Each structure stands twice: as C-alpha cells, then as structure tokens.
Amino acid sequence: MRILGIDPGEKNIGVAVSDPTGILARPLAVLPMHSRKEAAQQILQIAEEEQAEAIIVGQSTDVDGKPDYSGRKAARLAAELRSQTDLPVTLWDESNSTQIARESRINLGTSRKSRQGHLDERAAAVILQSYLDFLAQST
C-alpha cells in the first residue's frame, strides 16, 4: 500500500511517498503553502498521481503532548484534506523530524553548501518512515 507523508510548514509543505510495499519512505516534493484549500488540492493531486491509499500529516505537539500552534494548523490541513477525499488522513507526531532530516544529510557526508535549502521533503520522509515503522511493529 502506497502512503503519502506530509510535513506542513508556514511557507512550504514537504511531501514524501512510500514504496508500493509500504516499507520505505522517500522524499518527493516541496509545495509552496498558499491556502489550506489550495494546498489540499495539490496534495490530493499528488496522491492520485502516486496512487496513494492513505495520507499521513505530521503534527507538532507541546511538552504535554497537545498540539501546539503549528500542530493545530496541521490538524486544519488534515480536516481540509478529509473534506476533499475519501482517503484515510491520519495525524502523526512529527517531533524532531526536521532535525533528524538535517542530521541524516550530515551523516551522509553532504557538503555544507549542498545542505543549504529546504529540508521539508526530507522531514516528510522522516515522518512517513516513523509511521511505516510503527505499522511494521504492529503486525
């Protein structure tokens, strides 16, 4: 089952997709964030192109585990997605996904100059991989 992973941000939205077996996540794209409705339409277009059967949206939380400001915005994006599709849309903890994505690029030996720019699609892959790993452990 192919799954789409979303890392919603203030300016950009990172998108990742799983392989057809639902085991590995890979970065896919960075979308500019304009409006929730437009973002949802773009995400659903990608979901259709990639033949995704589910969408995971990263949600940040505060120290008490409750959605923070960004997490509430992610929940509103998830609600917009649900209003436009019958695909299952799940909110998933995105804790430290950008930091993990940054560290993975460093560990791969990527030069400092090459590391500049967006990490959004890589953070989306981290979020999605976390979800895929959880599913694998649950079965």
Look at residue 100 and give its three-state secondary structure.
helix
What domain range includes position 49?
3-138
Q: Which of 46, 67, 134, 60 is nearest to 97 (CA)?
A: 60
Q: Report, in angstroms and rounded to the nearest whole number, the Rg of the chain calculated over CA atoms.
A: 14
**pLDDT tens, position by position, 39-62:** 999 999 999 999 999 999 999 988
**Residue 98 belongs to a domain with what CATH number?**
3.30.420.140
State how far the Cα of 45 lies from the Cα of 51, in Å rounded to an integer: 10
pLDDT exceeding 70 applies to what percent of the chain? 83
State how far the Cα of 36 lies from the Cα of 14, in Å rounded to an integer: 14
* pTM confidence score: 0.85
| Number of folded domains that form the chain | 1
Q: Which of 35, 76, 42 is nearest to 57 (CA)?
A: 76
pLDDT, mean over the chain: 87
